[in-house]
């Protein structure tokens, strides 16, 4: 039995150089970056070096990068502070966002009575930009924040950041994007695309878990959620996790340096996987835009299989064969409910079939793809 990890949208394996960086910082640079002695000053230099590198990657100023524990905290910081501190009273989002956004928006609506609008989606799960403009125009008297993810974590659909940012600018709305699945995989220039807030997480691009960052455009007016110190420009109290932050910077720098080469390899692997599924399991279908190499993330494929069995049962069987994949967001694993993303775009009949998300990285191979497709084919043949 082989061991295949096709769940890179949930988390990615650490690069060797990232592990080495973390160990070096843990051993050699243990000073608190807020301390005034030489140990603290050395740590502070490393912290700000990492901040500058992340800022350079996004083409923003270092003061606009706030290190957090990851995407969920970044989303919470941005959304909650937008309501509390800059008096946003209308949020436009979609029903297929990550729960780190959806649950936070729901809580804010209950607590503050803000208006929440959901933009229409087409049959593939893409945002209806005409309806987005309608919502912006209809609510032009309200102070609006648009929160839409760049790459959907379940079906890989890609938002047109330029189009949304342009619409937001036209109607004086602020724009937040959850870019957890895209930072480290796509080049994002925040001078070219006028996004106000962005969330990212290191463990999606071969960095460590428990660290990420929020881009908060200067003079936004946001205030901290976590109080107790002046770390992170006063926006996130608490001693910085230096080894994680430096490792994040190492992972992002490596991803940026190898982006063209590695994205070409992974896209070829995804194309191969799609073609093999089409040949071996012709009744399988691809959810959202994930089966289209030109309109979906090259790292994500969501497959609906012609089987009459629950998705969690199929995942269990695949796990027994050494295959790691998922039904969707790892944050919702263990739930008996269907994916909230697929529930928005699939028919009742299609929802009765198991849909599985396969997500790829540079560490995967074509041989692994062959093994997984053959295992899936066996299940389909035996269960029909």
The CATH number covering residue 285 comes to 3.90.1150.10
H or E, element range at 272? helix 259-280
Domain hosting residue 29, numbered range: 16-256
Q: What is the pLDDT of residue 51?
A: 98
3-state secondary structure of 308: coil
User: What is the number of structural domains in the chain?
Assistant: 2
CATH of the domain at 81: 3.40.640.10
- Judge if 263 and 194 occupy the same domain: no
The two three-digit tokens of residue 187, written as one number:
């080049």
Q: Is 331 a catalytic residue?
A: yes
Does this model's pTM top 0.75? My answer is yes
Query: Looking at the structure, do residues 270 and 129 belong to the same domain, yes or no?
Result: no
- Which among 61, 64, 327 is positioned nearest to 200, based on CA atoms? 64
For the chain (length 384 residues), average pLDDT per consecutive 10?
Answer: 95 98 97 96 97 98 97 98 96 98 97 97 97 97 98 98 98 98 98 97 98 96 90 93 98 98 98 98 97 97 93 94 84 66 94 96 98 95 74
Same domain, 119 and 196: yes
Q: Is 266 helix (H, G, I), strand (E, B) or coil?
A: helix
| 159 & 45 share domain | yes
Give the separation between CA 241 and CA 18, rounded to whole angstroms: 15
The three-state secondary structure class of 301 is strand
Q: If you write DSSP's letter for every residue of 68-124 in order, what string do you get? A: ESSHHHHHHHHHHHHHHHS---EEEE-TTS-HHHHHHHHHHHHHH--EEEE--B-TT
Q: Which residues contact 126 (CB under 8 A, 6 or more apart)?
A: 157, 289
Same domain, yes or no: 244 and 296: no
**Could you say which of 201, 231, 256 is where a domain stops?**
256
For residue 384, the model assigns a pLDDT of: 55
H or E element in which residue 135 lies: helix 129-138
Q: What is the DSSP annotation of 17-78?
A: HHHHHHHHHHHH--S-TT-SSHHHHHHHHHHHHHHHHHHHHHTS-GGGEEEESSHHHHHHHH
pLDDT at residue 333, rounded to an integer = 52
């Amino acid at each position: 039995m082989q061991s295949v990890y096709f769940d890179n949208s949930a988390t990615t394996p650490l690069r060797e150089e990232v592990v080495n960086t973390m160990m070096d910082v843990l051993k050699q640079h243990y000073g608190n970056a807020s301390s005034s002695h030489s140990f603290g000053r050395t740590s502070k230099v490393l912290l700000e070096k990492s901040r500058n590198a992340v800022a350079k990657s996004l083409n923003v100023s270092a003061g606009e990068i706030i290190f957090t524990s990851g995407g969920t905290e970044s989303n919470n910081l941005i959304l909650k502070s937008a309501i509390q501190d800059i008096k946003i009273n209308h949020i436009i989002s979609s029903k297929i966002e990550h729960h780190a956004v959806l649950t936070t928006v729901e809580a804010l609506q209950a607590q503050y009575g803000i208006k929440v609008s959901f933009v229409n989606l087409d049959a593939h799960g893409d945002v209806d930009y005409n309806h987005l403009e309608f919502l912006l125009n209809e609510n032009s008297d309200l102070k609006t924040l648009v929160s839409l993810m760049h790459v959907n974590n379940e079906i890989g659909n890609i938002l047109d950041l330029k189009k949304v940012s342009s619409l937001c600018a036209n109607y004086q709305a602020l724009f937040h994007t959850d870019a957890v699945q895209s930072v480290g995989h796509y080049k994002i220039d925040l001078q070219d695309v006028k996004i106000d807030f962005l969330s990212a997480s290191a463990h999606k691009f071969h960095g460590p878990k428990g660290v990420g960052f929020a881009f908060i455009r200067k003079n936004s007016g946001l205030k901290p959620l976590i109080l107790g110190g002046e770390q992170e420009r006063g926006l996130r109290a608490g001693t910085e996790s230096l080894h994680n932050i430096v490792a994040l910077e190492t992972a992002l720098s490596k991803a940026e340096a190898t982006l063209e080469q590695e994205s070409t390899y992974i896209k070829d692997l995804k194309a191969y996987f799609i073609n093999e599924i089409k040949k071996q399991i012709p009744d399988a279908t691809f959810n959202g835009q994930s089966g289209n190499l030109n309109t979906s993330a090259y790292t994500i494929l969501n497959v609906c299989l012609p089987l009459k069995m629950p998705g969690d049962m199929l995942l269990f069987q695949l796990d027994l064969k050494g295959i790691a994949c998922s039904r969707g967001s790892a944050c919702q694993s263990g739930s008996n409910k269907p994916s909230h993303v697929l529930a928005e775009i699939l028919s009742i009949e299609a929802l009765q079939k198991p849909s599985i998300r396969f997500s790829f990285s540079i560490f995967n191979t074509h041989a692994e793809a062959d093994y997984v497709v053959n295992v899936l084919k066996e299940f389909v043949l035996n269960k029909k």
